[in-house]
Amino acid sequence: MQDEFVIRPLETHDDYYQAEGVQRVAWGMSDDSAMVPLHLLITVEHNGGLVLGAFAPDGSMVGFLFGFMGRTEGERAALMGTPYYHCSHMMGVRPEFQGRSVGYRLKCAQRDFVLKQGLRLAVWTYDPLMSLNAWLNVGRLGVTCRHYIVDLYGEIREELNTGLPTDRFEVEWWLTSDRVATYLDPTSPRHYPTPVEWRMSGAEMVSQTAIWRDELRAPTGWRRVHSDEIMVEIPADFQAIRRADMACALEWRLFTREIFQWAFAEGYVVGWFAREQTTEGRRSYYVLSRNMDIAALAGGPHAG
């Protein structure tokens, strides 16, 4: 199904208007206060940034991506030997086209663009409780995460964010690493270890959850462990929990915030994402390791 979509930079005013429309429906915006407007998208693209669209055969835009160059003077600059990286600010896909690799193809096109600029790293944020986003970012693209940001945007008037602190993972996509090259290589066989396989290999479960309503789960507690790999469960469908009970959704936010802040302070890095179907419903887990060599990812065999 993915071949019916064309990925290309935005070219006309109509393209940019369509990008505004994709933002509205992808995030359920009740007003335009959180939208990146046409004039800003045009300005960024005309000054070295990236604005991509995914278009159906009839010319309608089904997905959109927006990024620009960033600069840092911290640890990342030292690892890369340059202060410059790519900040991927926004990507959205119309709900009826989600699950058809539109986002994946947009990200692959973004990687090609950033590599041509001579950059090694793309950085972006996403809600760590969104299982589908976690699967795309960690499971399919090979990003890593070691930074947790509390309430990054404050209150946002969007259907997907209203009523909760906007905590975010800040992920690192080390574009020249063997890890990412292998994840994106269509000829490379990919095995996604199951949660059972991770546990059998020694990964210890940090979080505990229980059935709360129907197939929805609620957190019940967590424990500090000291193994090289750990697992943290998140909701398989966080939006379903939000719709059912905002109090339970807030409990998940605060529960996982505490776990990830502890884990990152202990040197763990999010490196994998695992899913399973059980008799109690779908379940989703992050797998973290404290043996992830970030310096090797930053250098990469294709760097320089």
**Is residue 56 domain-resident?**
yes
Q: How much is the pLDDT for 157?
A: 61
Domain final residue pick, 184, 216, 251: 184
Per DSSP, helices labelled H in 28-164 are 38-46, 75-80, 102-116, 131-134
Q: Pick from 68, 121, 132, 69: which is nearest to 97 by CA?
A: 132
Question: If you ran DSSP here, which 8-state letter would residue 273 be given?
Answer: E
List Cα–Cα distances, 254 to 152, 162, 234, in angstroms: 14, 16, 12
Domain final residue pick, 184, 211, 241: 184
Both 172 and 205 in one domain: the answer is no
CB 233 within 8 A of CB 278: no
* pLDDT(304) > 50: no
Band of residue 302 on the pLDDT scale cut at 50, 70, 90: very low
193-214 pLDDT, tens per residue? 999 999 999 999 999 999 998 8
CB 270 within 8 A of CB 169: yes
Average pLDDT over residues 122-128: 98
Find tokens 């229980």 and name the residue: 210
Both 44 and 158 in one domain: the answer is yes
Both 12 and 141 in one domain: the answer is yes
List Cα–Cα distances, 36 to 48, 67, 130, in angstroms: 17, 11, 22
* pLDDT(301) > 70: no
Both 122 and 236 in one domain: the answer is no
Both 150 and 212 in one domain: the answer is no
Q: How much is the pLDDT for 194?
A: 95
CATH number at residue 9: 3.40.630.30
Quote the domain boundaries for residue 221. 195-299
Domain final residue pick, 127, 160, 184: 184
Query: pTM for the full model?
Result: 0.94
Both 48 and 160 in one domain: the answer is yes
CB 119 within 8 A of CB 85: yes
250-295 pLDDT, tens per residue? 999 999 999 999 999 999 999 999 999 999 999 999 999 999 999 9
The CA radius of gyration of the chain, in Å to the nearest whole number, is 19
Both 202 and 238 in one domain: the answer is yes
Find tokens 């290589």 and name the residue: 185
* pLDDT(159) > 70: no
**Is residue 304 domain-resident?**
no
**Is residue 279 domain-resident?**
yes
Both 263 and 217 in one domain: the answer is yes
Q: Which residues contact 254 (CB under 8 A, 6 or more apart)?
A: none
Number of domains in the chain: 2
